[in-house]
Amino acid sequence: GHDRKLYAAALARLPPNGAVIRWLKRTEMARMGTTDFPADVTGALEKTIEFSRSQPVGFADERIAAAFGSLIGAITSFSHELDRWTFAAQPLQFRPMAEPPSRTPRLPDPPDSADASMAEEAVVLARRHRDLLSAYDKFIRTAHARGIDADR
């Protein structure tokens, strides 16, 4: 029925054994650099959010609707945090390598706040990443328990 088709369509960009979910499950956010995120991963997440917005009618089954809502919320939070983390990293990427020698003595620079904010955002990103994976797993488990996954 309707829920089964919607479930298949909802997972079209994030199939359980697909490249995007496999990459998300095996990647440690703490070790990531801002250029390490594959475009297909961010693209699939964005397209899944767009898909959820484009549906005039959601899931009829309340539990699946709630699990899907949680998943979309988790993807949205992760994507926003990824943007914030990337933005926090920008000042680190554009620092001068070496400053020209100066004749006037300079005060030492204040402790670098860019490093601190980058570290804070990385912690939040790791948390959002875990939230996304647990919401994804819950959506899959709920669909299976309710009998609407495609395997039946």
pLDDT digits (tens, 9 = 90+) for 123-148: 899 999 999 999 999 999 999 999 99
Question: What are the C-alpha distances in Å from 57 to residues 2, 51, 61, 62, 135?
Answer: 9, 12, 12, 12, 21
pLDDT at 26 over 60: yes
Cα(90)–Cα(129) distance, integer angstroms: 21
pTM of the model: 0.82
Give which of 44, 53, 46, 25 is closest to 137, Cα–Cα. 25
Mean pLDDT over residues 38-61, rounded? Answer: 93
* Model pLDDT, residue 43: 94
